[in-house]
Structure 1
Amino acid sequence: MRPTILLFYVLLLLGVQGALAQTTPKYSNEFLQVGVGARALSMGGSVVTSELGPFSTFWNPASLTLQGQKYGVGAMHAEYFAGIASFDAIGFTYRQDSLSGFSLGFVRLGVDDILNTTQLIDKEGNLDYSRISLFSTSDNAFFVGYGRIIPQLGLSIGGNAKIIYRHVGQFASAYGFGIDLGARKGLGKWLVAATLRDVTTTFSYWTFNSKKLEIQVGDSTFNYAPSQSVELTLPRLIAGVSRRIAVVGKVSAMAELNLEMTFDGRRHTLISSKAASIDPKLGLEVGYDGLVFLRMGVNNIQEETDFGGKKSYSFQPNLGLGVKWRGWSLDYALTNIGSVGIGQYSNIFSVGYSFDRLNLNNIF
């Protein structure tokens, strides 16, 4: 009965959070919604049921119980906007026993070497380029996850605790804390799963260095800033279903559908209402003998209206390849952080390795 009680609690909490939607910004800690791992990104982020490697804690902590080997490590590096922004992630998983698993993870999205021109004009009103300096801004999150199987229900459940640190040079910084919950269950030939992110609402507390932000021109002061602020991230629910089938010989295919639901009012998604906005994502993975994989996915499906009133649909396609061999995995994705047609596509690679105690002597 405990999982049932937890489900009712989650649904009740979502209803309560809906009351905050009118006064809470829609886009908070969005760097955590980009997605981690080339496999997941090549499938359009539709992996809430099927991501089982070192990055599973970011997508669904309930999957920590399903890793085939005792230890798993993974790393990813990506660059966006022609190399202006870098996005990095690392993950570590530990399968404690047949029923439970732990994880650690770290994500960073940063921009370095930004010009600081707040002191460009001296007190006499003259331009002084020697007063220009450089600073960096980054969004960071550290994850600690745990997953466990409930044999009586044939259900896997899990949770993440995440600590968020964001900073904009010497001008501002923020600390935040949040919790994610996940569940995964097999229903015959189907897999169903769900992840509830920021279940308790993630609070980020900002502090600002007003003196660094002020601009002095003569006797006048400009660019006043507050000393502190609180940012809230409301819950979002990602539900998914997938099925794997044998195609021919050693060739198999797995298709997955995810529905990402937000509850903070209307968004520009395929299904949008005052109560909830739903963003569907589709992913397909075709594999040969568990060694080589071809992947594709579709996300950012939107309805658009031109100046003549004609409606059409746009979407973001994604492609990828993967190789697994003796515990190693190398994945590649051709994807985009935004919608099609504006931003440039990025080449993303991630690497992982899974091993158990019997293999340790062969590694070190």
Structure 2
Amino acid sequence: MKLIQIDPTNADSLAEIESAAFVIALDGTQTLETPVTKSKHLWHAGDGGKFSNNRFVDKPAQFICWTDQSSNTARGGLMGEHSAMDGTPIVRFCEFILENIEKFLHRLEEPVDQSIANARTDISMPLHLPFNESGLEASINEARDEVAKLSANGLSTDAWTQMIIQLAYSRLVAIEGSENVPAATYEAATMRSFINGRYECIRSTTSDSATFVDAMNNTEKTNADRKDALKTAVNTHVHNTKQVSSGHSVDRNLFDLQKSLYPSEQVPELLIDELFNKSSTWTISTSQISTKGFETYGWGEVAPHGFGVAYSIFENCLQFTVTNTVMYGTTKDKNGKGKKRNDTFVALFDEAAKDMLILFKPAQRQAKL
């Protein structure tokens, strides 16, 4: 390594970094106003990668901190390397940090507390914006009732969300004129109840999810048909999730067997089967982490033509982060079509979610589908 050859001291410095549990990168003052700009700053090391020299990516956890220019307050995020860690423990780690910062703020001694107050005197006070909310109470209560209906009907919110993804993708490929074949969809299931357990794969695409998608896109179907198909698909997903989480799955086992083969060994026919490989090419890679400590989170697509879909389920909303490569297209035509494709897919998430919610509203809304 040239850095070590230049000066032996570099080897000592590098050893310090590599032996650390995590890295903290300080990026100074930044103007990052939206979740997208913040995510790109964390993931891409700023606009054009200008902070690349202030990163050490070969580390399971890297905390990236900056001062928000508009509010003069501290901000931060995390960039992780998945092979060495999983989402659940790192989320708990972050929540622990935030909880202790909150406790610390309540225990500040008066002189320090006064210094903070003095430092804020030159910051403009927030402006109160008056709103006339008369008449909104009924709409708010109606929205709460709709959320309650999901639980009242015994529908898992995670499975519901997975069906949103399936429906949105079916409409994307229809717009693109591609073959309307359900995409292999990976959802992570934790296996931490087992010794050395990490993650397994829940296959979100099933015959029942395909039947549901077809019902939603078929104008000859009634809302009752669609609702029945949705309930069946959701129940199947819940059943599969329980099976996977209790150790009754095959994906990681087959993957390990595939990777354990020596170059000289003959590959079993199963592992070179066209259907096996197509169904294991994760066009849609999904997972759920729901924590109020993250404004947003996500990862890149697994397949070149696919999407990474991170989502969070909160009391009054679903939040999605959808990623894919900008350079989407054929080998001869990789011209940045991915941005438009992403925008279309995101819009279809909203459409799919609303169409599914209509199923639990009065029959007069049927015509909207």
* TM-score (normalizing by structure 1): 0.23
Question: Which structure carries more relative contact order (alpha carbon 8 Å, separation 6+)?
Answer: 1
Larger Rg: 2
* TM-score (normalizing by structure 2): 0.23
Higher strand share: 1
